[in-house]
Structure formats: structure tokens, C-alpha cells
Amino acid sequence: MRVRCGITEEPKNCHAVGPTHRTIPEPLPGAPGDRQHPAGPVSIFGDELPGVEVLAKTECLNPGGSLKDRPVLSMVLAALADGQLQPGKTILDSSSGNAGIAYAMVGRIIGYPVEIVIPNNASTERKKRLLTHGAQLIYTDALKGYDEALREVHRRHDTDADTQHYFFCDQYSNENNWRAHYETTAVEILEQTGGRLTHIVAGVGTGGTVTGLGRRLKEHDPTIRLICVLPEVFPGIEGLKPLGPGDIVPRSWTRPSSTSGSQSQVRTRTRCVAG
């Protein structure tokens, strides 16, 4: 029996801008939850790990080009449904790039302005995509890392307490972040592997992906190990975030129950999440 290992990835954006509507659209082909994100074989580890079948989940097929479409759509639609997001408000959050693109795209479709706090070293293509969707960008000092963008978005939200101009989505503590992966990403992985997997590898940013995957996959099989790519310090890679002493830790992040040593295949600090 071959070991199955799944890798979730967030490739660079690859899809065009969609139309603008003020009503919530029907799901697009390839939209989150539409089961159109295949897990394809990766042969790069064939010689090193001949007994391991490695699959990569192609999240670039989301309309915004990344995994972040799933939680952003979930969070925004939930806010519309429960009345937190009302006409006249601006959607506010911080992002290293991909979530911001998802906010800008969804906000443009449903007719809500979007304001994103983003580190100044975000890639040029992400900045262009955000601006193309009509988002307003607030840049923070790249040398202060992504945590400075988080501090700035909270400063703006706190200052807004009286006027309530913003709907602060707060992907770092919004439970619909991890729920989106529990309800869609993990279910697709189980369907696409027939439930026959032993490990899954994912990077940690907000913690929503690994928390949602960990909870759902371990309901299916408690022995599945979730390997989290956790840099010791900010690596300058969009989407990865250190969670050590002095770093801001997302509320949506489920703390690991055990620690494994550095994995030779990953070459960064990794931990195994148990639930």
C-alpha cells in the first residue's frame, strides 16, 4: 500500500477580473466548494521517496487564483447573512496579498468597497490585481514584517469605533476562516484521495487552513498527520508567518499538541497539529 501525502499550495494568481454585480452571484465553475480543484501527482520526490505518492491540490483554479478565496467568501457571505456587513460600510482587513485579492474581488462583485492594509514588499502583481479590482491599499513598513500590517489594521478599526465606517472581517480571529476549509477543502481532499492519506503539508499564515483541515481530517482518521510549515522568523515569503515569542498569534490557530524536529524535505521549522 502506497503512502499518500497531500500538499496544499497557493500559486500566483492566474485568472482575470470578473464582472461587477450588487447581488450575490451563483457559484462560478471552479469556485470554492464546486469540487473543481483536482489533486494532481507530483513526481519531484519520486527518487527520494519511491514508496510515497505525493499529490498537490491546485488551488490556483479558484477565481482569485489562491486558496484564500474559500475563507474570504465564507466570511463575507456570513457577515452579509447576519447583518454585520451593511450598505455603506467598507470591508477592512490586512493581508500579505492573496486574501486581499479575494476581498477585493468579492467586494467588487457584491458592490462593497474594500480597504486592505498590506506590507509594502507585497509582490507587484498582487498590488496590481488589488488595484484592478478597485481596492484601496494602505502600505506598512516592510522591514517591520507582516505583524505591522496587523497592528495598523487594528489601529484603524479601533479609531473607527464611533463612526463604524468599517466592517472589520479580521481573518485572524474569524471562525468562518477555518470553517471554510473544514467544510470544503478537507472534504475535497478526502474525496480526491478516497480517504487514503497519511500526511498533509500546508503553510501557516492565519492558521485557518491547518485548523480546518486538521479538525476535519482527524475526524475521518485520527492518525493522519498535518505537517505545518512554520518559519522561525519572517522569511519574506507571502502567506507564511512565524508564530514564535513576540509574534502575533492568530486566534484561529489551533495550537499543536506535539512538536516534531525539522523535516529534511521542508527545510523549515515544522510542527504536527493534532486537532
Q: What are the residue numbers of the active site?
A: 68
DSSP 85: S
Hey, what amino acid is at 68?
Answer: K
E strand segments, the chain: 3-8, 39-41, 52-57, 90-94, 114-119, 136-140, 166-168, 199-203, 225-229, 270-273
| Cα end-to-end distance, the chain, whole Å | 26
Q: How far apart are the C-alpha atoms of 113 and 225, rounded to whole Å?
A: 40
Q: How far apart are the C-alpha atoms of 255 and 27, rounded to whole Å?
A: 33
Q: Specify whether the CB–CB gap between 207 and 178 falls below 8 A.
A: yes
Cell numbers standing for residue 12: 500566483
Task: Label residue 244 exposed, middle or buried (CB < 10 Å: 0-12, 13-18, 19+).
Answer: exposed
- For cell 476562516, what's the residue? 177
Q: How far apart are the C-alpha atoms of 266 and 57, rounded to whole Å?
A: 17
Q: How far apart are the C-alpha atoms of 23 and 30, rounded to whole Å?
A: 19
Q: Specify whether the CB–CB gap between 54 and 87 falls below 8 A.
A: no
